[in-house]
Amino acid sequence: MPVLRIPTPLRAYTNGQSEVNVNGSNISDALTDLTIQYPALKPHLFNEGGDLRPFVNLFVGENNIKDLQGVQTPIRDGEKIMLIPSIAGGRHCEGEARSNIPFCYEIASSPIPAPRNDGV
Amino acid sequence: MLPELSRDEILRYSRHLLIPEVGLEGQRKLKNSSALIIGTGGLGSPVALYLAAAGIGRIGLVDYDTVDSSNLQRQVIHGTSTVGKLKVESARDKLLDLNPGIQVDVYNEPYTSENALRIAKDYDIILDGTDNFPTRYLTNDVAVFLGKPNVYASIYRFDGQVSVFYAKEGPCYRCLFPEPPPPGLVPSCAEGGVLGVLPGTIGTLQATEALKVLLGIGEPLIGKLLLYNALDMSFDFVKLKKNPNCRVCGPNADIKELIDYEAFCGVPSHDHEEGSAGANWDITAPELAERVKTNHLKLVDVREPHELEISKLPDAKNIPLGQLAARLSELDSAEEMVVFCKGGTRSARALELLVSAGFKKVKNLKGGINAWAKEVDQNLPIY
C-alpha cells in the first residue's frame, strides 16, 4: 500500500497522523482514498471544481507529480508520497504581544471554508 | 584580487583555514563577499550570527521591527537588554561584538518593491528569512532579476523547508509555488506558533548553504528542497525542476519588473492596524468593560482551548474559529455578541463569518484579550 506523508499543518485533519496508508494505483485514486478516510482534508487539496489546488505540491519519491504525469502518475506498493505545503512562517500569525499582523497566511490550507462558501 | 588576511584574522579563522575546502583562499573569498539577510527574526538570528562568525566581509540586515520580549524564545541574536530597540541595531551590535572585523549595513525599513532592488543590488547572495508571502515573492523576484542566489528557508511549528533558488542554475521559488494560496483560503491564526529551536536548526542550514555557495564547494541545494520535521527528526529531499511556464524565470516570462506583492498575494506584508474588523465592527476593551456593567452581552472566545489556560474572560463561550462554521446553531443571532481572540485577528474573521451567516448584533473586541489585559485587567497576562 502506498504511504502518504502529511505535513504538520494538515495533521489537524488526519487525527494527528503523520503518515496515512492509501489505496490506489495512481495519485488521483490515492487522494480520493485519503479524502474518504479524512474528509476534512478535501477542501485543502481540491477546489470547488474538484481540481487539485495549484499551490498543492505532491511528490512521488523525489519527483513532483507535475514533472511526471500529474494526478495520473502511477504509484506502487510501499511508495512514499509527500504533500508539500507552501509555508510563509517565521513569525506568529497574530503577531506578538506588541506587533499584531492582521492577516497572516502561514500555510497553504484553510481550517475553515471562506464564509461565502460555507453553506451553513 | 582577494583581500589579504591580517595576523589576527588568521588566528580568528584558524579552524576554517585548517579545512582544505576552505583554506586561506576560501577565507579570503568570504572576506571579499557580502550577504543580505531579509529579516532579523527567528531565521535571521542564526543566519546573521554564523555568517558574521564565518567572516563574511559585509552583511546587510533588513528589518523594521523592534525587539519584543516574546521574540526571545527563538530570536537569539537579540537579548533582554535590547528589548524595545530596533532589531537591526540590536542585531548589528551583537554581530560587531562577535566579529568587529566585518562591516554590517542596516536597513531599518520594510523590504518593498520600491527599495528592494536598490538595497539588494550590491550583495553577492540573498538570504530569505521573511515571515509572509508578499515579502517571500518579492525576495524571489529580486534575486531572479539581479541574477543572485536566494537561500530560502521557512518554518512552521515543527516543520522547516530549505532550498537555494538560483534561476541561473536551477528553479526559483515561483517554479515550485507559482502563486500563493488565495486570501479566501487562509488558515486560522490559531494554527500559528513555532518551536523556538526550529528556526535555529533551519537557519543554520541556511547559513551553511550560503557559505557553500560563496565558497563554491559541495553541492548546494540548487534544484533540491529539504524538508525537515523536528518531531519525527526526519530530513527528506525532493527534486525541484525549473518550471518552463514560470512567470519570472521561464523562457516566456511575462513578469519583467517588481510588482505589487501585497495585491498579488491579496494580503498585507507589513504590520497594519492591530486586530481590527473595521471601525463599525470594533469595540475597544474599555468600551466593552463599560458595556458589560449595564448590558447583557454574549462573549464568544474563538481561541483554541489550550490558549484558555493562559488567560480567559469570565462567562465567555469558547468556540475555536475552526469550529465556528459548524457550531453556529449554538449561538443566538438575536443576542448582542462580542467575539474575541488573542489579538483581534481571528475574531475579525469570526465576525465576518457570523455576519455572512446573518448575525447582525455582533462586534469584534479590537486588539483581543491582550488589549483587555493591557487596558482593563492588568492581572491578566499578555502573550
Name the nearest CA neighbour of B328 among B366, B302, B289: B302
Q: What global pTM score does this model have?
A: 0.85
CA distance B180 to chain A (A): 7
- Interfacial B residues in 267-306 facing A (CB < 8 Å): 267-268, 271-276
Per DSSP, the three-state class of B128 is: strand
Q: What are the chain B neighbours of A11 within 8 Å (beta carbons)?
A: none
DSSP-based three-state secondary structure for B301: strand
Q: State the pLDDT at residue A52.
A: 87
Question: Which superfamily, per CATH, for B33-265?
Answer: NAD(P)-binding Rossmann-like Domain (3.40.50.720)
Q: Supply the pLDDT for residue B182.
A: 67
- Answer whether B356 sits within 8 Å of A96, measured CB to CB: no
The C-alpha angle with vertex A64 and arms to A58 and A65, in degrees rounded to 5, equals 75
B341 catalytic per annotation: yes
pLDDT at B180: 84
Q: Is the dihedral of CA B74, B78, B79, B84 positive or negative?
A: negative
In B176-280, where do the E strands start and end?
224-229, 234-239
Which of A93, A112, A116 is closest, CB to CB, to B192? Answer: A93
- Collect all residues with Cβ–Cβ distance below 8 Å to B379 and sequence separation of at least 6: none
- Kindly state the cell numbers that stand for B131: 515571515
pLDDT digits (tens, 9 = 90+) for B237-277: 999 999 999 999 999 999 999 999 988 988 776 655 557 78
Q: Domain map of chain B by residue range?
A: 33-265, 282-375
- What are the structural domain ranges in chain A? 3-113
Tabulate helix, strand, coil % of chain B (nearest 5): 35, 15, 45
Q: pLDDT tens for residues B139-183?
A: 999 999 999 999 999 998 888 999 999 999 999 999 999 988 766
Fold of domain A3-113 = Ubiquitin-like (UB roll) (3.10.20)
CATH 3.40.640.10 fits domain B282-375: no
Along the 120 residues of chain A, how does pLDDT read in single tens digits?
899 998 887 887 888 898 999 999 999 999 999 999 999 888 888 888 888 887 889 999 999 999 999 999 999 998 999 999 887 764 433 333 332 222 233 333 333 233 333 332
Contact B179 A54 (CB under 8 A): yes
